Structure formats: structure tokens, C-alpha cells
Structure 1
Amino acid sequence: MAGEPAKRQKREAYRQSLTTEEQNIALPKKKFYRQRAHANPFSDHALTYPRGPADMDWASLYPAHAVEKTGEGAGDDESHDRDRDDGEKEKGKTITKPVEIADIGCGFGGLLFALAPKLPETLIVGMEIRTSVTEYVQEKVRALRAQNAAPNTAYQNVACIRANTMKFLPNFFAKAQLAKIFLCFPDPHFKQRKHKARIVSYTLNSEYAFVLRPGGVVYTITDVEDLHVWMRGHFEKHPSFERVSEEDEAADECVEVMRMETEEGKKVERNGGRKFVACFRRVEDPRWP
């Protein structure tokens, strides 16, 4: 990207203008991290992703919740452990609790930073495909943690990774691991030939159903009515999901946060636009005959 080196130089020049102490706590400036709104999910991005959930290094993202792995407990996936000899057990750190909330396409992290203090005991991850935007969120996480250093533990429960969830979602999360998935103002891909790139489809909904626990919820919001109808239709016809009632939506504080705290939500609010919300609950799988 032509403008990226210049932006990096400006970011570095800005950091150098600060004292060391200021560098540790200064929030990043969006103007140095702006990037085009669209990314092709079918491109071969230079991504790093785990072979499977047992290989994901969550401990480095949530250091306040990290502990040393014990010999026999290294790796949560038994089949993954059996692939190694006893002398090759993976060492290092693991986290004391699993990540339970994923914000897919988290953008500049407005939802993440609003949810973090409301759900302090829950680990939340943002997943974003754009490089500069991911770096912005990661820098903001680092700065907020520095501003709220020990004994305060604010924002230790939130992190961001660069990922293409349309390709690699099951590589990060085990079956029934997540309690909530947020799909906030996804790219509408207006042209019909681009609909295959939409973040909601019958096939992708099956992957969401795999990583969500029964009773878990997918939250969707958009300002494009056509996309709202598309997402609603694909979830309603999927046997693993049921629509959350309007009463339950109104009682869910996460819905209000999603409406008001994302960057896109704030922009729609400023412009007097409409927001279309629909939530879908993961149902129990039917018993095998």
C-alpha cells in the first residue's frame, strides 16, 4: 500500500516527539492508522494462524491471566498432546480461562473498549483483517493497560489479533468455546457478484454454530437494510440458530453498547441514519437417534 510507509514514518516521528513516559501511556492517533475500509477476504494475506485451537498462544495476549504450563497439563487438546512424545510436551504459558467473546471485524475497537470494563471477568478478542487498523487497536490496548497499571487490572481482558475469520475461525476456537460473537457493521458488498464475500452465509453460520456454546448469541448490526435482511434470512433458516426476542434484545446491555459505542454506530448516529439489529441464539443440537 503506497501510503503505508509514510504513515509509519509519521507514527514514528510522533512517538519520538514524546518522552519515554509519555510513549508508554499515549493513546494512538487514528490519523496515523487510517486504511481503506474494504479488504478482500479471498486474497492470500500474509497471515499467521495456529494449526488448531490448542496451538493458539493466548497467554501473550492476556499476560495478566497467564500461568506457567505444567508438564502433564500442557495443551488443552488431548489428541494434540498425543501427537507429541512425552519428552516433547509444549512448555511455556497458558491462560487461566478461555476467550469467550469475539468481535469479528472489530475495526478501531470501539466495541471492545466499551465492553471490557462492563465484563471485567470475561476475555474478549477483536479480530480484524486490516494491518494498520489491527496495529491501532493493539497499541490502544497497550496504552490503556499502562494507564491502568497494577493494582488496577482494567483492559487486561481485551486483545486484538489480525485474522481472516472467513478462512480460519475454527483454527482459533474450540467447539462451543464462545458465548458471544459480534458482527458489527460488516462490509455490505453491495454488488451481487460480491455477496460471496459477505461475513454471513449459510456455510459461515455453520462455523459460528461450531464455536458457539448452546445458548450463546450472535449479535448483528448494520445501517444497510438489504444486508440486514440478508443476515437475518441466513440465520433464520439455519437449524442451529433461533431469533432472540425483541424483549430479550432490549434487556441485553451488550445490544445497547453495540448500538452506541462502535465507530460506525456513532457515525450513523451523527448522520441521523437507521440501525438494524438482530440477534440469534445458538440452540441445543438434537440428540442422535
Structure 2
Amino acid sequence: MPGTANKRANRERFHAHKGQDGVARLPRKRFYRQRAHANPFSDHALVYPESPDAMDWSSYYPAFVDEKASDETSGPRRLLKDVEIVDIGCGFGGLLVALAPLMPETLMLGLEIRTSVTQFVQEKIWALREQNAAAGGLYQNAACLRANSMKFLPNFFRKAQLSKIFICFPDPHFKARKHKARIVSATLNSEYAFALRPGGVAYTITDVEALHEWMVHHFGAHPSFERVPAEEEQGDECVRVMMSETEEGKKVERNKGQKFVALFRRLEDPPW
């Protein structure tokens, strides 16, 4: 398509020149615009590992590669630690970029299904790494990859691997026949429960009250989750970041809209 070709050419021209200081420039969002939503049931050209052990994270987190362990194995290069925080449908990466400096030793990952948006986040993180190379290696702990979370989450993460899952301003899918495409459901909540460790937290935020009630209902009905009390929610630094740093959150703020937040803690599994 001509429009896509023009955007790609503009991106390449922009990135061909670094700033006056010779450091990589941040990508411009206008060169990466794409439709706001993608159909998660479509057949996307996605690459995903056969299992979490088959995933090679070394190109995403090169500063955290365990060189000794990697030399001793013939499989994927291993990291010193596992990915622990996931932003499902990360959009243009506002949450990742805000959280990464606050938790520099915690690996966090954005999952995004849209090709151009994923590329924007990846290039933004690479540029931030280069710009902050002298500041202790900030942003080395953040990464983004293209994935369909509704289909392939267990391909990337082992049982109880994650400590936090963020679901920020997901597509509300207003029509009843589209509710099956919502990112929170009885089935998907079981996958979140699989990936989250006991005590881990699923964070949700939306500006659509009906969707907020839907998410509260479905997480509340799941035996592996309990809602985090309001006072604990208000004291969580991640909630402040989630409300103020995502692109959608900023848009809601500009439009003087409401934001509905709910947190859900992963419970211990009952004894067999």
C-alpha cells in the first residue's frame, strides 16, 4: 500500500540521521500510526517459541545475558534472571518507559499485536538505551515484542514466572457479539493465573465503566484471584504510573474523563 510505503520511507530517512550529539533520536509516533485495534482471531504472521525454554531473550535484554551459562549450552542464550513484568497490549510503550527506571533490575516486557506500533516501542527503547548509556545502563531491562497474548501467552512464560501483569485501556469491544475478543475473560484469566506467581498482581485500568465492571466481575469470579483493597491499591506506585504515563491515560486526562482501576492478587493454589 502506498501509505505504508511512505511511512516506512519516512521512518528510514528520520533514523538515517542521528542528533547533533551523535546519539540515536527517539522515533516519531506519526511515522508509526496504525489502526487502533487488531482482530486477535485473525491469522497474523507471528513468530513464537514452542515453549518458554525455547525462547531466546538475549537480543531483547543483551545486558542481562548470562555469558557463562550460555557458553555451556547449545540452546538459547540464557539470562541472569527471568522476565517478571508484562504489559499486555502495551501500545506505544508509555508504561514500560516509565516503569523501567523505577525497577532497573526487573525485566519487563511489552506485548503488542500491531506491527508498526511494536516497531515504534522497540526503536524507542533502543534509542533510550543509547541515550542513557552513561547513566548506569537505564532501559536495558525493558523490551517489546509482537505477540498475540490471547493465543500464545503460555509459549513465552512458565508457571508462576510473573509478578505483575498490566492490562491498560484494552479494547472495550462494545458489541455483545464481540465480547469474546475482550482480553479479560474466564478462560484468559486462567492463563494469567498460570503465569502469575502467588502474591502476584494483575493491574487493570480503563475509561469505560462497563468494561471495568466486566473485568471486576470476571476476575472476582475466578477462584485464583482476589481484589486488592482500595487502600493498598492507592499506595501502589505502579498504579500512579499506570494512571499517568500511558498514552491512553494521558488522552483521558486531556478529555477530563474518568479512569477506573482495579487490582487482583493471585492466590495460593489450594492443596490437592
**Is the CA contact 1:216–1:281 (under 8 Å) kept in the aligned structure 2?**
yes
What is aligned with 1:183? 167
Q: C-alpha distance in 2, partners of 1:22/1:56?
A: 36
Per-residue deviation, 1:2: 5.5
Distance 2:79 2:20 in 1: 29
- Correspondence 1:209 to 2:193: yes
Structure 2 residue identity aligned to 1:158: A
TM normalised by structure 1 equals 0.90
Residue type matched to 1:200 in 2?
V
Unaligned runs of 5+ in 1: 75-88
CA contact (8 A) 1:69 1:93 kept: no
Contact 1:15 / 1:23 at 8 angstroms: preserved in 2?
Answer: no
Matched residue, 2:9: 9
CA distance in 2, matches of 1:167, 1:60: 23
The 2-side partners of 1:271 and 1:10 are apart by 30
Aligned to 2:129: 145
Query: How do residues 37-52 of structure 1 correspond to structure 2 at under 5 angstroms?
Result: 37-52=36-51
1:120-148 CA-partner distances (Å, limit 9, x unpaired): 11000000000000000000010000001
Q: TM-score, normalised by structure 2?
A: 0.96
Out of 197, 201, 207, the position equivalent to 2:181 is 197
Work out which of the two has the higher radius of gyration on C-alpha atoms and give 1 or 2. 1
**Post-superposition offset of 1:221:** 0.2
Same amino acid, percent of matched pairs: 67
Distance, in Å, in 2 between the alignment partners of 1:281 and 1:71 is 35
Q: How does 1:55-70 map to 2 (within 5 A)?
A: 55-68=54-67, 70=69
Question: Given that residues 69 and 78 in structure 2 are in contact (C-alpha distance below 8 angstroms), is that contact kept between their aligned partners in structure 1?
Answer: no
**Displaced runs of 4 or more, over 3 A:** 19-24, 69-74
CA distance in structure 1 between the partners assigned to 2:212 and 2:145 by the alignment: 26
Rounded Cα–Cα distance in structure 2 between residues aligned with 1:227 and 1:73: 49
* Residue equivalent to 2:104: 120
After TM superposition, give the deviation of residue 60 of structure 1 in Å.
1.3
8 Å CA contact 1:241–1:283 kept in 2: the answer is: yes
The CA distance in 2 between the partners of 1:137 and 1:286, in whole Å, is 39
Aligned-partner Cα distance in 2 for 1:256–1:14 = 33
Q: Is the 8 A contact 1:127 1:160 kept in 2?
A: yes
SS at match of 2:143: strand
- What do you get for the CA RMSD once the two structures are aligned? 1.7
> 1:230: Cα distance to partner?
0.5
| Alpha-carbon separation, structure 2, partners of 1:69 and 1:48 | 27
Aligned to 2:27: 28
Against the structure 1 CA distance between its residues 45 and 174, is the aligned structure 2 distance closer, same or farther, given a 3 Å change threshold? same
Q: Please list the CA deviations of residues 138-191 of structure 1 after superposition, one character each: whole Å capped at 9, or x if unmatched.
A: 000100000011462100000000000000000000000000000000000111
| 1:173 partner letter | F
**Deviation readout 1:54-99 (Å, 9 max, x if unpaired):** 011111100000023548964xxxxxxxxxxxxxx42x52110001
1:162 corresponding residue in structure 2: 146
Secondary structure of residue in 2 paired with 1:279: strand
> Which residue, 133, 157, 182 being the options, matches 1:173?
157
1:131 partner letter:
T
